[in-house]
Chain A
Amino acid sequence: QVQLVESGGGVVQPGRSLRLSCAASGFTFSSYAMHWVRQAPGKGLEWVAVIAYDGSNKFYADSVRGRFTISRDNSKKTLYIQMNSLRVEDTAFYYCARDGTLRGLKADYWGQGTLATVSS
């Protein structure tokens, strides 16, 4: 069965960095685009970034462009997001999700999320 398991969340000070991972299993990881979507506690969903199945294309939300970097290692079936220059407003649950298309937001499987808290 399809599984996505996020890890790497925690508490970090403003201005510092954090890298989140998403381990995939149960499907051909290298055939799917992958998203990161976040949700601040008690708030709605916010799209963060997407990467093509082969890593050739990446798109970012304006709120994170230049600070966050999405990447993947298909040999390890793992998705990453490197988050630099973190701000208090980046505090959220971060979900990874798979998508059959790069430009569609048709994410059919999601992980359970990992919480990143930015606080001094």
Chain B
Amino acid sequence: QSVLTQPPSASGTPGQRVTISCSGSSSNIGSNSVSWYQQVPGTAPKLLIYNNNQRPSGVPDRFSGSKSGTSASLAISGLQSEDEAHYYCAAWDDSLNGVFGGGTKLTVL
């Protein structure tokens, strides 16, 4: 059971906008910033979003993040087939440990 809660799956058609939610608590998302990672099966995770809504260089602006209270969201606009992957939210917890969501498998129909 992961500390951060994500839906296990999401889907969309090419060109659509998809959002993935991440729910936490006052000790993690509520008081620390959120990161999002993309993982294609068989490869290492890749940082997509940090500090709630910042993109590392090279990440397309189709990816955006937001945070409100103890929840966060990742939005992907203009969905492409290459976006099919697992997505994980992550945050630091005030109990001095890192926490991940259980992951969301995104399918591009």
Residues of A within 8 A of B (CB): 35, 37, 44-47, 50, 59-62, 95, 97, 103-108, 110-113
Q: How far is the CB of B28 from chain A (nearest CB, A)?
A: 10
Residues of B within 8 A of A (CB): 2, 32-33, 35, 37, 39, 43-47, 50-51, 56, 86, 88, 90-92, 96-103
Q: Interface of chain B, helix or strand or loop or mixed?
A: strand
Q: How far is the CB of B49 from chain A (nearest CB, A)?
A: 9
Tell me which residues across on chain B come within 8 A of A59, comparing CB atoms. 96-98
Q: How far is the CB of A69 from chain B (nearest CB, A)?
A: 16
Could you count the A-B residue pairs with CB atoms below 8 Å apart for me: how many are there?
Answer: 68
Tell me which residues across on chain A come within 8 A of B90, comparing CB atoms. 45, 47, 105
**Cβ-defined contact, B47 with A106, below 8 A:** yes
Alpha-carbon separation in the docked complex, A86 to B51 (Å):
35
Q: How far is the CB of B56 from chain A (nearest CB, A)?
A: 6
**Cβ-defined contact, A44 with B2, below 8 A:** yes
**Cβ-defined contact, B97 with A61, below 8 A:** yes
Tell me which residues across on chain B come within 8 A of A95, comparing CB atoms. 44-45
Tell me which residues across on chain A come within 8 A of B45, comparing CB atoms. 37, 45, 95, 97, 107, 110
Residue of A whose beta carbon sits closest to that of B102: A44
Alpha-carbon separation in the docked complex, A61 to B101 (Å):
15
